A and B are shown apart, each in its own frame.
Chain A
Amino acid sequence: MNTERRIAPPCARLIVVLVVLGAVSAGCGAAVPTGRFDALAEASRGVESKTAQTDADFIKLTRRFMTFSPAPGPYRADSFAPVVDVGGTRVDFDFGPRLEPRQAALGVLAAYTEALAAFARKDYQGELDQATQSLGASAQLLAGHASSSTAVKQGAGVLATVVNGLGHEVTERMRRATLRKAMDDAAPGVTAIVAFVKEINGLAGTAVTTMRDQVIRRANSLTVADGPARLQLNEVVEGMIGDSSAVLAQLKQGSAAADAIVPAHAEIRDALDRDDRAILEKLQTLVAEVKRLQRINASLK
């Protein structure tokens, strides 16, 4: 990363002495590379915000689906609410509550990576405290949600514990060691959150495909004569198909971007041992996936 910044090493003199003595140990006093932590935090926040956009598009698609499946009888205020007939009973299928824990899980992940970045930058009073609070709020939301899996709740708990354990380390060496331990401890939590995000994206994808196919089937069963009415129907069906494809692409790309966070996190952790500034392929992959996700969202506007 050409924008990567390094914090001036306070134990530089010690390093010089050690080099002179020929007894320097790898990573002992090197500065913590903050740029890669910033990139990870930015990418995680990007996945969170783009997923929120995807969910808004998904809910709009559900509304459009309901125009093909309104409640029977005369129009009422709730004629187009997400309700379908199951065995003669009207049953609600509001996807909102299913999506909320995924958003909270992404909030935990973003706050965790922001906390790491703030810690690496020594921004203890500002962003670290803010990220800690944000993580706590998201973890609480996740823990209280009925449809959160046990694994994701535990994962969020792990990240909350890790962030709470970040102290205000004075020396670079201690900060590096703290980051190493924090990232080692947090790795299973990061993996659990990403798995949960992909799982919910998969469910949302199934819902989109089901709604799209149902609309096509119903449109095919309608009898509309050639003319303006047919053109109007064409437009509505084309809109449903186009928007379904767009949401499916967003969900797929969102999963790919989330998936890239795990290896990027591991790569940054390993780089703390290696102390190299070589190009981080995994981080680049993550950044590329998030950019693709942003392009997909932008193309819908």
Chain B
Amino acid sequence: MSDHALVEGLAGLASRVDTLSHLTEGDDSRTLEEQEDRLAKLTLVAIALDMDATNAKYKDAVSRVQGAIDAIGDGDKRIRNVAQVISKVAKALDVAEKLITKLAGV
């Protein structure tokens, strides 16, 4: 596994969440915007950090982020599954934030 898989996943997910936030309205849109903001910050910190790709928590974070990307999918599905996407992105964010704050030593 590349040690940049998490960076690439976070950046890709941030971009997809941003697109989805423009396709939705109201609370969903605002929640997605907040999530996109958190994902962007995590991406920047993840780039600056040196990460061990063999670490189980790292692998879990990559898997959660990929799961959220898969949940967004493409086409019409993304509109129908917004609640599910928000939930998956939230879980991915929690796992990634815990990992990154621990690695950053804060």
User: Residues of A at under 8 Å CB distance from B?
Assistant: 82, 84-87, 89-95, 97-98, 146-147, 199, 202-204, 206-207, 209-211, 213-214, 217
In the complex, what residues of A have CB within 8 A of residue B100's CB? 86, 91
Selected contact of B97 from candidates A87, A92, A213, CB within 8 Å: A87
CA distance A300 to B64 in the complex (A): 40
| B11-A206 in contact (CB<8A) | yes
Establish whether residues A93 and B101, one from each chain, have CB atoms under 8 Å apart when the complex forms. Answer: no
Contact in complex: A91, B104 (CB < 8 Å): yes
Contact B47 A93 (CB under 8 A): yes
Chain B residues with CB below 8 A from A90, complex form: 106
- Of B37-45, B55-63, B67-75, B76-84, the one contacting chain A is B37-45
- Could you say which of B14, B50, B106 contacts A89, with CB atoms under 8 Å apart? B106
| A94: chain B residues within 8 A (beta carbon) | 48
The number of chain B residues with a CB under 8 A from chain A is 27
Whether, in the assembled complex, B18 has its beta carbon less than 8 Å from a beta carbon of chain A, the answer is: yes
CA distance A92 to B7 in the complex (A): 16
Knowing A89-B101, A89-B106, A206-B11 touch, does A84 contact B41 (C-beta < 8 A)? yes
* CA gap between A217 and B4 in the complex, in Å: 25
A90 to chain B, nearest CB (A): 7
**In the complex, chain A residues whose CB is within 8 Å of the CB of B45:** 84, 86, 91-93
Residues of chain B lying within 8 A (CB to CB) of residue A93? 44-45, 47-48
Q: How far is the CA of A199 from the CA of B5 in the complex (A)?
A: 12
Query: Which one, A98, A209, A213, contacts B48 given CB within 8 A?
Result: A98
- Whether the pair A217, B36 counts as a contact (CB closer than 8 A) is yes
Asked if B40 contacts A203 (CB within 8 A), the reply is no
- Give the distance to chain A from B43, nearest Cβ to Cβ, in Å: 5
A223 CB, min distance to chain B CBs, angstroms: 16
- Closest Cβ–Cβ distance, residue B36 to chain A (whole Å): 7
Write out, one digit per residue, whether chain B residues 26-37 have a CB within 8 A of any chain A CB (1) or not (0).
000000010011
In the complex, A84 Cα to B41 Cα: how many Å? 6
Cross-interface CB contact of B42 among A86, A202, A213, cutoff 8 Å: A86
Minimum C-beta distance from A293 to chain B (A) = 22
CA distance A86 to B38 in the complex (A): 7
How many angstroms from the CA of A94 to the CA of B101 in the assembled complex? 15
**Chain B residues, CB < 8 A from A147:** 50
Q: Are A213 and B18 in contact (CB under 8 A)?
A: yes
Chain A residue with Cβ nearest B106: A89
Q: How far is the CB of B97 from chain A (nearest CB, A)?
A: 4
Asked if A92 and B36 sit within 8 Å, CB to CB, the answer is no
Asked whether A213 lies within 8 Å of B41 as measured between CB atoms, the reply is no
Closest Cβ–Cβ distance, residue A58 to chain B (whole Å) = 11
Q: Is the CB of B44 within 8 A of A210?
A: yes
Complex A-B, nearest 3 residue pairs according to Cβ-Cβ distance, in ascending order:
A87-B97, A84-B41, A93-B48
Asked if residues A206 and B43 are in contact (CB atoms below 8 Å), the reply is: yes
CB distance from B20 to the nearest CB of A (A): 14
Which listed residue (B7, B8, B18, B97) contacts A86, Cβ 8 A?
A: B97
9 more contacts with CB within 8 A, not counting A92-B104, A206-B8, are A84-B41, A84-B45, A86-B45, A87-B94, A89-B106, A97-B48, A203-B7, A207-B43, A214-B40
B57 to chain A, nearest CB (A): 15
Which residues of B are found within 8 Å of A146, using beta-carbon distances? Answer: 50
Check B4 against A203 for contact (C-beta < 8 Å).
yes
Q: Cβ of B104: which chain A residues have Cβ within 8 Å of it? A: 86, 91-92
In the complex, 9 of the A-B residue pairs with CB atoms within 8 angstroms, ordered by the A residue number, are: A86-B38, A86-B42, A89-B101, A91-B104, A92-B48, A94-B48, A95-B48, A147-B50, A206-B43
